[in-house]
Amino acid sequence: MAKRKVPEINSGSMADIAFLLLIFWLMTTSMNVDSGIARKLPPLVEQDNDPGMDAHERNVLMVFVSGNNQLMVAGQRMDISGLCEKAKTFITNPTNDPNMPEKEMTDIPLLGRYPVSKGLISLQNDRGTSYDMYLQVQNELTKAYNQAKDELAQQKFGRSFTDLNDEQRKAVNKAIPVKISEAEPRNLTGGK
Amino acid sequence: MAQFKRNGNKETPGISTSSLPDIVFMILFFFMATTTMREVELKVQVDAPKASEAQKLEKKSLVSYIYVGPPTKALAPQFGTAPRIQLNGAYSSLNNITEFIASERDKLSEKDRPDMTVSLKIDATTKMGMVTDIKQELRRANALSINYAAAKDKGEGNNR
């Protein structure tokens, strides 16, 4: 019986295969992406220039986190799960409640005249508060703002906030400005 | 019509290895493009808290890092377990932050300086007293754009 020839494997396309793999990896891998919550610190100015000081009472939502990680919102103890909802109602003030923040009609490109809330969230913490709790509170507040922005974006542009283009996003950001003021820290428990 | 003559040599030819260098090069480029060198060795344990609203940190070249947390296990016998601040490669104190920010700012080009961001990688167990001190120092150094490092919490993605 004659020996049959084994056909050679064509390796000419190996490079192409390698290229495909390379491109696939490049598109899909995200190596240790850093993520976090972005904040702007207020510039260092005189203490009495704090915007929380001269604001009307109805325009300020006091959020206080105590040294043993308990949350107090507007003078009442609260669980963290309720904070987002509370903050959102405060920001948007859907019923124009006189106890909730005032609104000021402002001209915003793309949106026209929009009642911009004057609400300000004043966040205060103790030196003994754990960072974890603090960040959870920041997270809930961010979530409240994001939800409010999302709702406005849906209502005006029919898309969620993340899908808007730059100009629309700028308009929404102007309509719902993120105002979280952090007061100078208190030291109640003497913890360091 | 001319016919090619088949010679009797019917051995199986080996797989061509001429493209092997290309493949190796590609892998090399892949690693070069994707790895970000960690310039500093972490001397503190940072177990960042989780947050559902965490967003990706853009433009890594403009970001400086401040690490805060208890010393790593290997260094704990020597330095204890109280949270410490790490700047660049070494433990630091609060007073050095201003200097650190100034030197980081100097590294950036003139037009990038306003966009400089400081990422605070802080362990979840740290007390706010320390964090507040750092924030005050950053305000003093006029580094106002900060980012609290937090792991993206995927479990709560639906209530966004």
pLDDT value for A54: 54
Provide the chain B residues 90-149 that lie in CB contact (below 8 A) with chain A: 117, 119-120, 122-132, 135, 138-140, 142-149
Closest residue of chain A to B116, computed from CA coordinates: A40
pLDDT value for A191: 45
pLDDT value for A186: 58
- DSSP result, A53-87: HHS-GGGEEEEEE-TTS-EEETTEEE-GGGHHHHH
pLDDT value for B1: 54
pLDDT at A53 over 60: no
Across the interface, whether the CB atoms of B12 and A5 are under 8 A apart is answered yes
State chain B's mean pLDDT as an integer: 80
CB neighbour list of residue A104: distance below 8 Å, 6 or more residues apart:
A115, A116, A118
CB neighbour list of residue A26: distance below 8 Å, 6 or more residues apart:
B30, B33, B34
Phi, psi of B146 (to 5 degrees): -125, 165
Across the interface, whether the CB atoms of B128 and A134 are under 8 A apart is answered yes
The alpha carbons of chain A give a radius of gyration, in whole angstroms, of: 26
Q: Which chain A residues touch B159 with a CB distance below 8 Å?
A: 143
Average pLDDT over residues B98-104: 88
CA-wise closest residue to A135 among B144, B45, B52: B52
Check if A24 contacts B (Cβ < 8 Å): no
User: What is the domain count for chain A?
Assistant: 1
Show the domain range for A119.
Answer: 57-182
On whether residue B139 sits in a domain, the answer given is yes
Distance between CA atoms of residues A107 and A94, nearest Å: 19
pLDDT tens-digit readout, A73-84? 888 888 888 888
Across the interface, whether the CB atoms of A128 and B128 are under 8 A apart is answered yes
Check if B60 contacts A (Cβ < 8 Å): yes
For residue B106, the SS3 value is helix
On whether residue B120 sits in a domain, the answer given is yes
CB neighbour list of residue B82: distance below 8 Å, 6 or more residues apart:
B70
pLDDT band at A55 (very low <50, low <70, confident <90, very high): low
pLDDT at A192 over 70: no
Higher pLDDT, B13 or B78: B78
On whether residue B142 sits in a domain, the answer given is yes
pLDDT tens-digit readout, B2-54? 566 666 667 787 777 777 767 777 777 777 776 665 667 788 888 888 888 88
On whether residue A45 sits in a domain, the answer given is no
Average pLDDT over residues A36-51: 70
pLDDT tens-digit readout, B51-73? 888 888 877 778 888 888 888 88
Distance from CA of A5 to the nearest CA of B (A): 6
Among B19, B51, B132, the residue with its CB nearest the CB of A11 is B19
Show the domain range for B97.
Answer: 50-152
CA-wise closest residue to B20 among A100, A18, A84, A166: A18
Among A9, A35, A129, the residue with its CB nearest the CB of B128 is A129
Check if B12 contacts A (Cβ < 8 Å): yes
pLDDT value for A190: 47
Provide the chain A residues 55-114 that lie in CB contact (below 8 A) with chain B: 65
Distance between CA atoms of residues A107 and A114, nearest Å: 6
pLDDT at A56 over 80: no
Phi, psi of A65 (to 5 degrees): -110, 120
pLDDT value for B129: 85
pLDDT value for A52: 47
| pTM given for the model | 0.73
pLDDT tens-digit readout, A4-42? 788 877 766 666 777 777 777 667 665 666 788 888 888
pLDDT tens-digit readout, A131-159? 888 888 888 888 888 888 888 888 888 88
Distance between CA atoms of residues A116 and A172, nearest Å: 10
Among A39, A135, A150, the residue with its CB nearest the CB of B51 is A135
pLDDT value for B23: 75
On whether residue A84 sits in a domain, the answer given is yes
Across the interface, whether the CB atoms of B127 and A39 are under 8 A apart is answered no
For residue B59, the SS3 value is coil
On whether residue A191 sits in a domain, the answer given is no
CB-count burial class (<10 Å; 0-12, 13-18, 19+) for A70: middle
Check if B34 contacts A (Cβ < 8 Å): yes
ipTM at complex level: 0.71
Lowest mean pLDDT among A10-19, A34-43, A117-126, B115-124: A10-19
SS3 for A129-154 is CEHHHHHHHHHHHHHHHHHHHHHHHH
User: What is the domain count for chain B?
Assistant: 1
